[in-house]
A and B are shown apart, each in its own frame.
Chain A
Amino acid sequence: MSDFQDALSAAFALVAGQDPALAEIVGLSLRVSLMALALAALVGLPLGALLAVARFPGRHLIIVGMNALMGLPPVVAGLVIYLLLSRAGPFGHFGLLFTPSAMVIAQAVLIAPILAALTREVLEGMWEEYREQLHSFGVSSWRAVPTLLRDGRLALVTVLLAGFGRASAEVGAVMVVGGNIEGFTRVMTTAIALETSKGDLPLALGLGMVLMAIVLAVNGAAHLLRERVARMSG
């Protein structure tokens, strides 16, 4: 039990002490995960919507592939991206390895299939309901995508939160491609891994609590936003 008490007081000390290094780590975590989320959403949401409405050859292959990618172990994703971004790899000349950009790419690759698969599931039901009416309006399946994304926005906030949760909780991939460089690519999860391996379990757990608090805050903010939008549009 004293481990948890130590962790609590470590967490409290971290936050109360307004440690600039902690603020930097938290800031980078949010920045990286939100950028990854935006990047993945740009691809995943339209792709998911398209898969919900369109029927074309190869659709099932894409869905199966997507679902398989959802189970991709982060370390494997990290390793693949490491090899791609390494100086000796095909995209080496961009010099992105061991930078926050590489972490954004890794997280985006990890969560894009999740966003696409969840978006497809959410919008397929809505499309079932809307299909005839939109066809009656003369809207083709493809052109229905923006309408579905707009009208599904409440459910999609939940989808985005799932993506954000996975991105911000992820450690394997960002560790490999970011290198956990202090003050540059160290984020909450890699910091927790580091403190764990240093045997400073209370500090690691304290950092974990801070991470939880942040994820909770983001979810709470998203919840309030949903409420507001829901009141306006039902």
Chain B
Amino acid sequence: MNAPLRALRSGRRALPAALAALLSPPVAAQRRAIILASTTSTEQTGLFGHILPIFTRQAGIVVRVVALGTGQALDVGRRGDADVVLVHDRAAEERFVAEGFGGPRRPVMYNDFVLVGPADDPAGIGGNADIAFALAQIAAARARFVSRGDRSGTHAAELRLWLAAGVDPARGRGTWYREVGQGMGPALNTAAAQNAYLIADRGSWIAFRNRQGMRVLVEGDRRLLNQYGVMLVSPQRHPHVRAADGQRFVDWITSAEGQGAIAGFRIGGEQLFFPNATEPGA
């Protein structure tokens, strides 16, 4: 801790030492590593903490995860600041590939979204199997609803569901519809504090601790499917992309081994993500 303080005390003598300390590279900088831009749902559930060490042990490649919303993660890829992108918004992913920023897109796994709400369920939607109908009821009751509002995969999915419900939630802005513009965790914290409904990915929900009595009210509708895809950022577009190491990761996570690792990740005995790399059209 003392370099600058020492520099202060002894004046010029300590300056070279302080400079040397500054210029010395970070400890882990020399290791073989790739940057993976991904989503808060995968990072915060602990999935990566479970599967990445397995990959690193086998390949000798460290995977550094920057967890963002899907939209931001794809932007990081577009700018060339990541080597691989693993996100969950199929339409946005296909746009990314079509624009030439990376790909090809490979399906990796899925789980599902759930509609979570306060225990007393003021809009009376509990047990409903039709997500569109449930959302329409929330809108009709003008019950508080928290939206990610951050261009994330979950946000995109939520907007698609509103469309299916025939409701324009933007009209509830300022009253019952609240966009927090943040990650899944902060959105869950907000909903818990405000007794509001929200759409969450199941993984984040299971890993979330501060529930304050909230519970899952609607699940199982096939429109709640949450599909993840992985893409290498285009080395043609960004020559510095660590293409070989990145490709190795893409290949591994879609291989039987990587898929097995995903299936093996559980919280309290519950499986959070379901591998489906081989499923056509996923």
Q: Residues of A at under 8 Å CB distance from B?
A: 30, 34-35, 37-39, 41-42, 86-89, 92-93, 95, 97-101, 104, 146, 150, 153, 156-157, 160, 179-185, 194, 196-201, 218, 221-222, 225, 229
Q: State how many angstroms separate the Cβ of A163 from the closest Cβ of chain B.
A: 9
A86 touches B11 (CB 8 A): no
- Residues on B with beta carbons closer than 8 Å to the beta carbon of A98: 35, 64, 66, 81
A180 touches which of B18, B33, B67, B240 (Cβ 8 Å): B67
Interface size on B, residues (CB 8 A): 47
B40 touches which of A99, A179, A197, A199 (Cβ 8 Å): A197
B21 near A: Cβ within 8 Å? yes
A87 touches which of B1, B21, B79, B207 (Cβ 8 Å): B79
A198 touches B5 (CB 8 A): no
Residue from B5, B66, B183, B238 with most neighbouring chain A CB atoms (10 Å): B5
CA distance A95 to B82 in the complex (A): 11
CA distance A99 to B211 in the complex (A): 34
Residue from B8, B9, B78, B208 with most neighbouring chain A CB atoms (10 Å): B8
B81 touches A38 (CB 8 A): no
Within 8 A of A (CB), among B12-29: 15, 18-19, 21-22, 26, 28-29
Q: Which residue of B lies closest to A31 (CB)?
A: B26
- Residues on A with beta carbons closer than 8 Å to the beta carbon of B21: 35, 38
B240 touches A199 (CB 8 A): no
Contact bitstring B198-234, A, C-beta under 8 A = 1, else 0: 0000000001111100000000000000000000000
**Main SS at interface, chain B:** helix
A198 touches B207 (CB 8 A): yes
CA distance A223 to B234 in the complex (A): 53
CA distance A175 to B219 in the complex (A): 33
B80 near A: Cβ within 8 Å? yes
Q: Which residue of A lies closest to B66 (CB)?
A: A179
Q: Which residue of B lies closest to A159 (CB)?
A: B8
CA distance A197 to B65 in the complex (A): 17
B35 touches A100 (CB 8 A): no
A184 touches B28 (CB 8 A): yes
Within 8 A of A (CB), among B37-85: 40, 44, 48-49, 62, 64-67, 78-81
Q: State how many angstroms separate the Cβ of A38 from the closest Cβ of chain B.
A: 5
A221 touches B1 (CB 8 A): yes
A37 touches B64 (CB 8 A): no
Q: Which residue of A lies closest to B24 (CB)?
A: A35
A200 touches which of B5, B35, B210, B238 (Cβ 8 Å): B210
B3 near A: Cβ within 8 Å? yes
B7 touches A30 (CB 8 A): no
- Residues on B with beta carbons closer than 8 Å to the beta carbon of A37: 4
Q: Which 4 A-B pairs have the closest CB atoms?
A: A197-B185, A199-B210, A87-B80, A179-B66
B64 touches A197 (CB 8 A): no
Q: Which residue of A lies closest to B36 (CB)?
A: A181
Q: Which residue of A lies closest to B186 (CB)?
A: A197
A194 touches B64 (CB 8 A): no
A222 touches which of B5, B28, B66 (Cβ 8 Å): B5
Q: State how many angstroms separate the Cβ of B272 from the closest Cβ of chain A.
A: 14
- Residues on B with beta carbons closer than 8 Å to the beta carbon of A229: 9
A225 touches which of B5, B11, B15 (Cβ 8 Å): B5
